Structure 1
Amino acid sequence: MPILIELEKSTGNVYADLDFPDAEEMRVKAQLASKIGEIIRARRWTQQRAAEVLGISQPKLSQLMRGHFRGISEAKMLELLARLGRDIQIVVGPPRRSTKVGRVEVVFAT
């Protein structure tokens, strides 16, 4: 007899799917942390070397790269990306026609 598994379609945000109250903030932080890790790996830096360049402790960087970033603000993550040589641009879009809450989105230029 086959086992039936009920699937639920994702919202695209695992934090929202798990009913985290700060799901959007966590999604943005996860994207930023992922990019920081990607840059460090591409440069083949040790965590110690990266931490020195970023001006944070190696244990703090290790936590960030393992997805434990609750104690790190989005602003700090943007600062880390700038220290890694990335330009940061914040764009505020035009007003929406509806009364729906706007969204925060991270876009990485190539």
Structure 2
Amino acid sequence: MSSKEEKLELVRGSGNVFRDFGHPNADLMQAKAILAAKIIAAMDDRGWTALAAEKATGVTHTDLSRIRNVKLDRFTLDRMITILGKVDQDMEVTIDVKPRGHGDLVHA
């Protein structure tokens, strides 16, 4: 069978790539990733390196470098929210809680 004739299965993700790959703390990991992306975007918008951001915010450049390199295991959500505030970003939180289904991926 040629590659043109192969049938591909379409798999719709859950909206959380960490959940789709079976990580046990998927929701926490997704929340940290979103906050990290917002922190990085705020730094980039200002043209800040980690050292420049340290001077402006008081957050150590090593912590900011860890965030930029997505090494987030040392960070709690509240610490990341605090850092987000220090880069002049306001945050509004909405949480939706729903029962888990049997199998988070939807096959179409």
TM-score range relative to shorter protein: 0.7 to 0.9
- SS at 2:80's partner residue? helix
Computed over aligned residues only, the root mean square deviation of the Cα atoms, in angstroms, reads 2.4
Which of 12, 15, 19 is the matching residue for 1:12?
Answer: 15
Structure number with bigger Rg: 2
1:13-46 Cα distance to aligned partner (Å, 9 max, x none): 1100111111001111111000000000000011
The letter of the residue matching 2:3 is: P
Structure 2 residue aligned with 1:2: 3
Bigger Cα displacement from structure 2, 84-93 vs 58-67: 84-93
- CA drift of 1:89 comes to 4.5
Counterparts of residues 1-110 of structure 1 (less than 5 Å): 1-2=2-3, 4=6, 5-90=8-93, 100=98
Bigger Cα displacement from structure 2, 80-89 vs 13-22: 80-89
- SS at 2:88's partner residue? coil
Instruction: Tell me how many residue pairs correspond in the alignment.
Output: 96
- Structure 1-normalised TM-score? 0.72
1:17-76 Cα distance to aligned partner (Å, 9 max, x none): 111111001111111000000000000011111133333332321121122111101100
- Cα 1:92/1:11, change in 2 over 3 Å: closer
Q: Percent of aligned positions with the same letter in both sequences? A: 27
- Structure 2-normalised TM-score? 0.73
Query: What is the CA–CA distance in structure 1 between the aligned matches of 2:57 and 2:25, rounded to whole Å?
Result: 26
Query: What is the CA–CA distance in structure 2 between the aligned matches of 1:14 and 1:74, rounded to whole Å?
Result: 18
- CA drift of 1:8 comes to 2.5
Segments of structure 1 that go 5 or more residues without pairing to the other structure are 102-110
